Amino acid sequence: MAKYTTLCRNAAALSALLSSTLAAAAPPDYGVGRAATAEEIKLWDIDVRPDGAGLPEGKGTVDQGKTVFNTYCVACHGANGQGGIRDRLVGGQGSLATDKPVKTVGSFWPYATTLFDYIHRAMPYTAPGFLSIDDTYAVEAYLLNLNGILPDGATLDRASLLEIKMPNRDGFVPEPEFVHVTNSR
Amino acid sequence: MDPKDRDNTRGAEHKGSVSGGDESGPKQRLLTRRKVLVGLSVLPGVALWGRSMADTLADVPARGPGDLLGKYSERSKYVQISRVPEAGPGVRNVEPINAINSKAPLDKLVGIITPSDLHYERSHAGVPEIDPAKHRLLIHGMVKKPMVLTVYDLMALPSVSQIHFIECTGNGWENWKKADENLTVQNTHGLVSCSEWTGVPLRLLVDMVGVDRRSLWMLAEGGDGAGVDRSIPLTDEILNDALVAYGQNGEPIRPAHGYPIRLIMPGFEGNLNIKWLRRLKFGDRPWMTRWETDRYTQLRPDGKATQFQLRMDTNSVITSPSGMMEIRPGYNRITGLAWSGHGKIAKVEVSTDEGKTWKVAQLNLPVLYKAQTRFQMDWLWDGKPTMIVSRSTDDKGNIQPDRRSFIARVGSNALFHYNAQQTWSIDSNGKVHNALS
């Protein structure tokens, strides 16, 4: 029993040492990794935020987007963004409070930036990242048009995308625990 | 079933899976035993040890030299245990091309650790085959020293090993609106598993790159086709608990679970535990990615959706007896799993009378922080139809809700974060079915 107690004390001392090491302002130089260059960071830094951070310059029209959609997207998402084997993208507005909610870009997605980010990072499924910036703007313009958010013939670019207020923009209630994040660092 | 076999049967079993026969001679007895052994392999785990199909010791096959020793050890051919691939709620045993998740066989597992090949899986663009020599982790954003790390760099750093459950936020989604009575516990709760994870504390990496103190959110991004990415709040709890892991249950993480590296976020939504991790970016606000807006948010009855409900709640389920098993009157051991994203399990109670009265179950050691905890309880079934149900309480005092009050609170459209008590009904024949209480 005495031996066990000693072991426990040692373990506690070790964990105290480790945590104080981890909390120290200047961690030891572990001699691993290397500095990332600004140039290579640019290759991977694809995320886009609602405030426009990360959203590149570019533009595309609804009509161009229809061509892009019918080439790369229609096989999974269906003609006009409905009835495909994968996620429905169009319609469903007004259904969220019913027994059969239909969540689509038009009815549910709160930010136009999220749509740009997701199309650009993940679509088309078989070749993610394949669409150019302009094609991404175009196909987003087409999807917003199908959902009644952009008029026929519209052009979408960085400035106009940031002005879009999606129909369900105010439809989200954040969990109170993470509204104001703090830590003791 | 042959009455003689029935006499030798203890514990829960699948009806019709054990075949017997007339036993007029030694040869036929042997045949019977073989048939029975084949039948045994499809039985739930609890039944594997409790029964003897060799009628006398003379029936046990003679000893002899066995198979050759190899590089790997396989499961016994008498053990048939596998995951169930699904395409969505109620769409089961689909071809791999259509599967979006694969559920762990909770009814056949014992203890608290899930074997790595049976750990549940939810992948959003398949399982990438990643060469660790070419994989990189980029850490940048609001940091003093943006860095690129290799897998070997990470493995050279001080490491920890921690046992934690990971649970898909969709676990339990079968029972939101109705209860298909033919579901097993693998169907209802198979999107939770528990492993020992080995890796580098997130806190160490945060200090190493010099994360700006004003950075309160971190974007974690995977190297899969979907580039799954989530915004993670940098609370003390998360900074103290999270790992960038490369080991699972003593070996390199398997490809389906994030090889070569993944984020481990103890107690939080499975999808936050970014697999095939390749980027950590530090910022001052959430990114509102597709996965935290369109997908992993919970629709309420008023049509609004709860967002950033990141913590997995207090939960438990009886794994035996459970759906599609069959029990006999007399002694039955009730056992199951409990877990909570808030901390340790403090107590599990079991009711064998439809929730009227509750008894405290025994917790099997070890009981660990944010890990699956095994519970069990003795039960003498009187042979009358009833319902059995478990409810867990964690060390923060959170109690797993009954289904009625849970649905009254969150509605039935949330799709994610189902943690209501699971009820199993038992009919007069001892057959166990999924039920809503």
**Amino acid code (one letter) for B87:** A
Q: Which chain B residues are within 8 Å of A183, Cβ to Cβ? A: 216, 234-236, 239
Alpha helices, DSSP H only, in chain A?
Answer: 2-23, 38-44, 62-72, 74-77, 112-122, 133-146, 158-163
Q: Which chain B residues are within 8 Å of A18, Cβ to Cβ? A: 158
pLDDT of residue B383: 98
Does the pLDDT of residue A145 top 80, yes or no? yes
- The beta-carbon neighbor of B306 closest among A41, A111, A175 is A175
Give SS3 for B315: strand
Question: What is the full per-residue pLDDT of chain B (437 aa) written as tens digits?
Answer: 333 333 333 344 443 333 333 333 444 443 343 343 333 444 444 444 445 678 899 999 999 999 999 999 999 999 999 999 999 877 888 888 889 999 999 999 999 999 999 999 999 999 999 999 999 999 999 999 999 999 999 999 999 999 999 999 999 999 999 999 999 999 999 999 999 999 999 999 999 999 999 999 999 999 999 999 999 999 999 999 999 999 999 999 999 999 999 999 999 999 999 999 999 999 999 999 999 999 999 999 999 999 999 999 999 999 999 999 999 999 999 999 999 999 999 999 999 999 999 999 999 999 999 999 999 999 999 999 999 999 999 999 999 999 999 999 999 999 999 999 999 999 999 999 999 97
Optimal mutation site among B297, B302, B313, interface A, most CBs of chain A within 10 A: B297
Q: Which chain A residues are within 8 Å of B148, Cβ to Cβ? A: 33-36, 40
Q: Which chain B residues are within 8 Å of A171, Cβ to Cβ? A: 303-305
Express each pLDDT in B196-253 by its tens digit. 999 999 999 999 999 999 999 999 999 999 999 999 999 999 999 999 999 999 999 9
pLDDT of residue B97: 86
Give the residue from B273, B250, B245, B242 showing the smallest Cα distance to B261. Answer: B245
CA distance, residue A123 to nearest chain B CA (Å): 8
CA distance, residue B417 to nearest chain A CA (Å): 13
* CB neighbour list of residue A98: distance below 8 Å, 6 or more residues apart: none
CA nearest to A25 within chain B: B207
The backbone torsions φ and ψ at residue A4, rounded to the nearest 5 degrees and listed phi first, read: -60, -45
Give dist(CA A167, CA A147) in Å, integer: 10
pLDDT of residue A25: 57
A36 and B229 in contact by Cβ < 8 A? Answer: no
A103 and B294 in contact by Cβ < 8 A? Answer: yes
Q: Which chain B residues are within 8 Å of A46, Cβ to Cβ? A: 227
Q: Which chain B residues are within 8 Å of A33, Cβ to Cβ? A: 147-150, 153, 208
Sheet containing strand B362-363, edge to edge, reads B315-320, B330-339, B373-381, B362-363
Q: Which chain B residues are within 8 Å of A182, Cβ to Cβ? A: 216, 235
B233 and A178 in contact by Cβ < 8 A? Answer: yes
- The beta-carbon neighbor of A34 closest among B148, B204, B213 is B148
* CB neighbour list of residue A108: distance below 8 Å, 6 or more residues apart: A92, A96, A168, A171, B293, B294, B305
* Contact predicate B389/B379, CB 8 Å: no
**What's the whole-number average pLDDT of chain A?**
90
- The pTM score is 0.88
Does the pLDDT of residue A168 top 90, yes or no? yes
Q: Which chain B residues are within 8 Å of A45, Cβ to Cβ? A: 140, 281
Q: Which of residues 55-74 of A touch B (CB under 8 A)?
A: none
B148 and A110 in contact by Cβ < 8 A? Answer: no
B189 half-sphere exposure, CB direction, 13 A CA radius: 27
Q: Which of residues 96-155 of A touch B (CB under 8 A)?
A: 96-97, 99, 101, 103, 108-111, 113-115, 117-118, 121-122, 125, 128
Strand-pairing partners, residue B394, are B345
Q: Which chain A residues are within 8 Å of B208, Cβ to Cβ? A: 27, 30, 33
B339 half-sphere exposure, CB direction, 13 A CA radius: 28
- Classify the C-alpha dihedral B221-B88-B112-B165 as positive or negative: positive
* Contact predicate A89/A102, CB 8 Å: no
Q: Which of residues 6-65 of A touch B (CB under 8 A)?
A: 18, 22-25, 27, 30, 32-36, 40-41, 44-51
- The beta-carbon neighbor of A117 closest among B157, B289, B306 is B289
Cβ of B28: how many Cβ atoms within 10 Å? Answer: 12
pLDDT of residue B67: 92
CA distance, residue A130 to nearest chain B CA (Å): 11
Mean pLDDT of A82-106: 96
A181 and B216 in contact by Cβ < 8 A? Answer: yes
* Contact predicate B327/B370, CB 8 Å: no
CB pairs under 8 A between A and B: 158
B208 and A40 in contact by Cβ < 8 A? Answer: no
Express each pLDDT in A3-46 by its tens digit. 433 333 444 444 444 454 444 457 789 999 999 999 999 999 99
The backbone torsions φ and ψ at residue B84, rounded to the nearest 5 degrees and listed phi first, read: -115, 110
> What burial class does residue B1 get, using C-beta atoms within 10 Å of its C-beta: 0-12 exposed, 13-18 middle, 19+ buried?
middle
Angle at B41 between CA B35 and CA B44, to 5 degrees: 130
Q: How many helices (H) and strands (E) does chain A have?
A: 7, 4
Q: Which chain A residues are within 8 Å of B294, Cβ to Cβ? A: 103, 108-109, 114
